[in-house]
Structure 1
Amino acid sequence: MLIIHGLFGSKKNFDSLAKVFSNKAALQASYMIVISIDSRNHGDSGHNNNMTYPAMSDDVIKLLDDLKLSGGVVVMGHSMGGKIAMTMALNNPSMLSGLIVVDMVPGRSVTADTDFFPKMLQKMREINFDATPDISIVQARKEANKQLSTAVQDARIRDFLLTNLVVKDGRVTWRLNLQSIHDHYQDLMTFQEFQGRTYNGRTLFIGGSLSSMLSEKHHPMIKQFFPSAEIIKLSGAGHWVHADDPYNFASKVIQFVKTLIFHKRQGPDF
């Protein structure tokens, strides 16, 4: 399994669940190797001025080729990562053995028409510590939290964003490439045209009932591109469904993976 995080996230977002997914007892089968990655301009990955979904999808495809894992991988992506995963599946279906999309759809994001992300991104870009090079990471996060609160009222989201403040070359800085995210914001909010292409492999769309990112109105769009998709919502969970309800989320994912394993054992005519 390969896991791709969402916008402003990192591979560490799925550390706990990755351990669950790789558990032999949970799968009741041979163990599964789980790889979480940092997308370009996030985490420990390099920065690049090109931040389109085809480019980020190509990054993952190259990684799978380098690791010689093409064709036997369940790819799971949350939010932005879901769009990367869907792009992979539609452009290179033979590389995947299954697809899991977490609280995202193959179309324009519902947040694209709000000012929440642009305001948040602008505030993050305004926060820098060039004038205070000796500030500690603890103090920097405290000050950044204060400044972010004017644009982001939810303390949980602020805490999530502040994980991206790091010490690099002795100075506190954002590890995100905020300029590239800003320049490609509209690309990230939309989804490319695929001219009638479909991914016919087994697919799971899983969202939270409190999130508007994945709703019933999106079902026809999903089925258009992913005709074999199963679509489920976890009650009481929001956009970060894997964090809001990790137990039920893990159970649904493990159940899906077990069906893939059983299907593979039985052969294509099962």
Structure 2
Amino acid sequence: MPRTTIRAALAQEHPLVCPLAHDALSASMIEKAGFKAFAIGGSAMLAARYALPDIGLIGLSDMVAGIRDIASASALPFFADGDDGYGGNRNVARMIEAYEAAGVGAILIEDQNRDSKQQRADRAKHVCDDAVIEGKLRTAMAARSDKETFIVGRTDAYGPLGLSAAIRRAGRYLELGVDGVFVAGLTAESEYEEVGRALDGAFLSAAMFGGAATPWLTVSELRDMGYSQVSFPAFVISRAVAAMQDGLVALRAHGDGTTPIERPDFVDSTRPFLDDAVALAKWNAYAGT
């Protein structure tokens, strides 16, 4: 099945709800759960694929390898984190070509300095000068081969410079002609409202992390504030990590003989979902050809 576009997905759902896929299996399950699109963020994918934090340790080739694996498992359109473009303007152009070839429908490019990159947006320490990020966004728009490829300007200026500076930067990105903006690191509902008012009418991305330090707004609340797309960066992988941790602790105790585990009942109940996600029936059908 050919991959649809982000624009087509937006026509089906507003705001567009995007879980983060951290691997091919999660991407397949997201599609089968009925979502219209998904996202690939650095923190979830790098944790799952390399057991590394998203603090600028990996390069373009590492990221593209993970994206390709994930893209192969789903026909849904998807957003992907492009970091700072992995270097200067020439690196940005190469990243756009590589991401488009991998099937990415929307690419986020940020202004956080790579040398001091933080995984939590509200803890960002430094952002590059206006001229640097503006040059990268211009390059990204010029380098794309498909005008349906969304270029989203992400600003992490909230942490080091404050909300007003972050809004000013996002407004400037829109003036340059990007398809949308993401003001990262917001910590209060009132700040989401302020961004929505200040950038009214633009394609606005929001991220709901679910931790105690950040707001948890409903999709309808974000729609009313003017947001076009909302991602849930930690939701899927955090649940997976919690389940694995609980299971491994229990299994270790079982192996030690301290707390035996009864025969697990979830293996049979989850098997149909796993078989469906890996398209077992399709591949088995070839056995008789």
Fold shared by both chains (TM-score > 0.5): no
Q: Which TM-score band applies after superposition, normalised by the shorter structure?
A: 0.3 to 0.5
- Choose between structure 1 and 2: higher helix proportion: 2
TM-score using structure 2 length = 0.33
TM-score using structure 1 length = 0.35
Structure with bigger gyration radius: 2
